[in-house]
Structure 1
Amino acid sequence: MPADVTFPLPAPYGPGAVTARYQRLGAGSPLLLLHGIGHHWQAWEPVLPALAERHEVIAVDLPGFGASPALPPGVPYGLDTVVPLLGRLCAALGIERPHVAGNSLGGLLALGLGKAGLAASVTALAPAGFWTEAERRYAYAVLGGMRVGARLLPQPAVERLARTRIGRAGLVSTIYARPGRRDAAAAAAETRALREATGFEPTLSAGRGLRFSGDLAALPVTVAWGSRDRILLRRQGVRALHELPDARLVRLPGCGHVPMSDDPGLVSRVILETCERAERWDAPAGRAAEHGPATF
């Protein structure tokens, strides 16, 4: 069952504390899962069984999303604040340098944790932060339209729409290439999560002008992109590889922006392979072999 964890704010925003909702299951080396903007930890449900067979999996509602309360007034939602917060969350849960997988906003945060030395490996699924300004504006327009639509629809109407394949396509086809694979309860719940996300606008505001850069050569990094991503276009994956030349770039055929539901088996394999690479990471020859040319 999901639980809550409370941990202190980082300097200079303390004293004070933040509470986050998380789901924890499985056994093995820890694997932290971070969802995208407007979503919640349940986005990872399609891949949780496979991941939990090999790892202790912790799927988190980011501050201001899902069941996690908003950050206290005056605390920004930028990378420089949320990454240290996630480090403190891990400490409160008794885990150190977990493997981290994230999608979209979560992918950007996963890379931030890797850059800060707080991750053993990073799998970033369609991470934010590798856009041109025009691509960022396009993504923000799409996300803003989704948010408006979710807020205009009362929950009873959402639940009625979610009961049919056509209705589910109307609700979630922007983020899924195969919306019919989402069941009615999941589609209705994530539409509600988008409508009620108190961190949505502050997170978008914090992302203006953001371009990720940093040296992550000290750990295994995989960047994966769905071939049918309608929010962050897949050419941004090639740009990510230029910024992260030691990373592995993987194409996810037939997947949309949130690929965990579109192809759970493929996404699980990509994450697990990245975690396994961390176990062989000490040998320089092994690193060179791991980082051969990627097909995209």
Structure 2
Amino acid sequence: MHVGGVGTPMVLLHGATSSWRAWRPVLPALKRHHHVVAPTLAGHHGGPVLSVAPENVVPAIVDAVEVALDEAGIDRAHLVGNSLGGWVALELARRGRSRSVVALSPAGAWATPADLDRLLRLFRIGGRIGRLPGTGAVLRPRAVRRLLLRAVSEHPEVLSQADVGELVEDLAGCAVLADLLAGAPDSGGLAPFTPEGPVMIAWGERDRILPFPRYGRPMVEAVRGAQLVRVPVVGHVPMADAPALVSSLITRFTARVDRDADPAEH
């Protein structure tokens, strides 16, 4: 977990197979405006242990984040989530824990069963690759990173050797991945709801993991009243692709929410 910065509370929630370290490129900018808490999700490398039935994995991850909020003395926060973390952020908003939500290509919605099957196959393949000996060494050349990681990031060649090492380490250490994938068909995804607070869904125009027509449109339909923003030049995990753009997108939205908030909350 990473904690730092001063201002209204903000919680950063990473995607499946990742950890809090996915937020490093945008942390300095976000901490200039907010008290930032970036936990590692339950069942992920370095996060709390999770042992539940596969169909209950996502609710259990949401429960664990809510416990962390309670322990930190945070009632409501700006929730910023990517992929699985976006789904978790929206479920926390359903529980009344959000000051606002910025969901970056959130998981949890799909147009057809075939779209879900496609996504599960991608993650199963990625999980197997991440556990192969020597994966980190294979990804050292920039050209190889651009070829093999292009589905995740539009510009994987900008990742340092340390970044790649952490990515592989997090992937290999994600104990909950198999159960998360096994439970997806029975979970039903994100149930439609109308959030009480402001929600922005921001979708990378070059997202190859969750292309907008197949996964974004049903998500926007499920989260009634959410603002939709299409983000240029970024892929599924946009924080490393364009840190300045992503951090500015987030802080402009949260600043507007804070300005509109009841002065008694400040």
Q: Do they superpose with TM above 0.5?
A: yes
Instruction: State whether residues 9 and 36 of structure 2, in contact with CA within 8 Å, keep that contact through their aligned partners in structure 1.
Output: yes
Match of 1:139 in 2: 119
Instruction: Identify the match of residue 227 of structure 1 among 198, 205, 208.
Output: 205
Q: Secondary structure at the match of 2:103?
A: strand
Which ranges of structure 1 fall in alignment gaps of 5 or more residues? Answer: 1-21, 284-296
Contact 1:220-1:281 at 8 Å conserved across structures: no
The amino acid across from 2:57 in the alignment is G
Note the C-alpha offset of 1:159: 3.6
Structure 2 residues without counterparts, runs of 5 or longer: none
Cα deviation code 1:191-225 (max 9, x no counterpart): 12111210111122232242323433421101011
**Contact 1:38/1:197 (<8 A) preserved:** yes
Aligned pair in 2 of structure 1 residues 75, 92: CA closer, same or farther (>3 Å)? farther
Matched residue type, 1:250? V
Contact 2:54 2:179 in 1 (8 A): no
| Contact 2:104/2:203 (<8 A) preserved | yes
Alpha-carbon shift at residue 75 of structure 1 (Å):
8.8
Contact 1:78 1:203 in 2 (8 A): yes
Q: Percent identity?
A: 34
Task: Tell me the residue number matched to 2:74.
Answer: 95
TM-score normalised by the chain length of structure 1: 0.81
Find the residue that maps to 1:208 and give its secondary structure.
helix
Equivalent residue for 1:218? 196
In the alignment, the residues of structure 2 paired with residue 202 and residue 117 of structure 1 have an alpha-carbon distance, to the nearest angstrom, of 27
**Range 247-256 or range 266-275, more displaced:** 266-275
Instruction: Give the distance between the partners of 2:57 and 2:42, measured in 1 at CA.
Output: 11
Shift of 1:171: 4.8
Q: Distance in 2 between matches of 1:192 and 1:47?
A: 21
Q: Tell me how far 1:260 sits from its aligned partner.
A: 0.7
Task: Give the TM-score of the pair, scaled to structure 2.
Answer: 0.90
Distance 2:260 2:55 in 1: 35
Contact 2:192 2:221 in 1 (8 A): no
For the Cα contact (< 8 Å) 1:224–1:237, is it kept in 2? no
Amino acid at match of 1:202: D
Distance 1:81 1:186, change over 3 A: same
Distance 1:274 1:215, change over 3 A: farther
Structure 1 residue identity aligned to 2:177: F
> 1:287 aligns to what?
none
2:115 maps to amino acid: E
CA distance in 1, matches of 2:221, 2:62: 23
3-state secondary structure, aligned to 1:45: helix
Q: Which residue of 1 aligns with 2:174?
A: 197
Residue in structure 2 matching 1:161, options 111, 117, 138: 138
Equivalent residues, number: 259
The answer to whether the 8 Å contact 1:126/1:225 transfers is: yes
Contact (CA 8 Å) 1:79, 1:112: kept in 2 or not? no
Change (3 A) 1:184 1:54: same
Q: Find the counterpart in structure 2 of residue 278 from structure 1.
A: 257
Which of 127, 146, 151 lines up with 2:131 in the alignment?
A: 151
Provide the aligned C-alpha RMSD in A.
2.0
Separation in 1 of the partners of 2:34 and 2:60? 27
Relative to structure 2, which stretch is displaced further, 136-145 or 72-81? Answer: 72-81
Point out which structure has higher relative CO (alpha carbons under 8 A, 6+ apart): 2
- Which residue of 2 is the match for residue 262 of structure 1? 241
Structure 1 residues 221 and 119, CA, compared in 2 at 3 Å: closer, same or farther? same
Name the residue aligned to 1:206.
183
- Which letter maps to 2:212? R
Contact 2:90 2:101 in 1 (8 A): yes
| Change beyond 3 A, Cα 1:75–1:126 | closer
Q: Is 63-72 or 119-128 further displaced after alignment? A: 63-72
Q: How far apart, CA to CA, are the structure 1 residues paired with 2:52 and 2:230? A: 40
Query: CA-to-partner distance for each residue in 1:261-289, whole Å, 9 max, x for gaps?
Result: 11111211221123123225569xxxxxx
